Amino acid sequence: MSRAVIEIAEPVEQVRSLARDTAIRSIRATIVEAPTRRRHKLSNTEVTHQGYVLVRVLLDNGVTGIGEASTLGGPRWAEESVESIKAAATNYLAPALLGQPALAFEANALRMSKAATRNFAAKGAIESALLDAAGKTLGLPASALLGGAVRERMEVIWALASGDSGQELEEAKEKLRRREHRQFKIKFGFNRPQADLKRLQTLRAGLGDEVRLIVDVNQGWTEAECIRFMPALEELDVALIEQPVSALQLEAMARVAARTSIPLLVDEAAFTKEEIARVATMGCGSVYSLKLVKSGGLFEMKRAAAVAGAHGLELYGGCLLESSIGAAAHLAAFATLPRLEWGSEHFGPRILVEDLVVNPIRFDEFEICVPDGPGLGVEVDEDKIRAFARKD
């Protein structure tokens, strides 16, 4: 009895051809400084121009992918600056990837890990560009390459960070009136705690009890200040407190978390999967902020979400004032997560005087919409890039 013959030669050759066509031909990086609509203050700096590194990956098939790395005022939020990101991407990561197939995402991540330790923002920008190029080649959104979307939109949070309570109240009321945002994160830490609390009282009184308020201390308080002032935050019905003490003081953060009824959001205290497991086991918080700049890649960010979820932490889609380019990369991954309890904070495209794309991410009815085009689903505005690019 003859056996059926299974034809495999053609599919295998198609895979080989695709690998050849998507080989990485070049990787280029450009520093961009885009002006913001208002000052954005944190505990250790303030931003009037947001710094980005845009990474372009060119494949042998002629397709170009774009990725973005974002910082806040230089190497203050983390160790990377736009200058170091560009240097790492150009001098160390790019040589390790040239000639490799763009679709070999995990292998390329391993190559980058061997080429440079940490440098998560640089790695994340390159991987985002590879996903953009691969998605454009295959006619698929990046979310499909990341496992497939389970949501098309998510609640989006707006940050209030000018330090002027009157201006912030009017800003928040306008966001509510336009049905753009109904959850607000108030930046603390750049004033004395008593002054920040007065701002918060003004905002709570002016916005009412139905609006959800989140406080981000940006590591600006001591444990003693947390003990003293967190009862006031409880009285003002704050829903979440982000990183109140130094990221290095894990034991103090665990003690603070045990004393308050408000959930703590872990941000700077945990970048890697191992760090996430450690802070969760220690009881440093009950919510984790996902950021590409902390994970070093979209696939790794999904693994970070899985580790956080396995330890019982809820998930929050964090941001570093990304443009629509960086926001689109984050949203592609956020869209695939089984759970995202706190939605996303990717308001960055709206704080820029001019976004960096011709088709900005859409906001609708208090939510941000995941782009559905191939790759990241956004198209770079070359005129804006030329206007805002740093002249070397």
Options 41, 136, 185, 187, the catalytic residue: 187
Q: What is the CA radius of gyration of the chain?
A: 22
Options 68, 127, 168, 345, the catalytic residue: 345
136 is catalytic: no
- CA–CA distances in Å: residue 387 to residues 69, 200, 350: 18, 38, 18
Distance in angstroms (rounded) separating the CA atoms of residues 34 and 323: 9
DSSP 96-129: HHTTSBTT-HHHHHHHHHHH-SS-HHHHHHHHHH
* 363-364 and 367-369 beta bridge pairing: antiparallel
Distance in angstroms (rounded) separating the CA atoms of residues 245 and 359: 39
DSSP 140-154: -BHHHHTT--S-SEE
Distance in angstroms (rounded) separating the CA atoms of residues 229 and 190: 15
Written as six digits, the tokens of 87 are: 């240097």
Closest to 17 (Cα-Cα) out of 75, 61, 47: 61
The kind and range of the H/E element at 195 are: helix 193-207
DSSP 257-285: HHH-SSPEEE-TT--SHHHHHHHHHHT--
- CA–CA distances in Å: residue 163 to residues 159, 168, 220, 280: 11, 8, 15, 32
86 is catalytic: no
CA torsion, ordered 280, 285, 289, 290, to nearest 10 deg: 10
List the catalytic residues: 187, 345
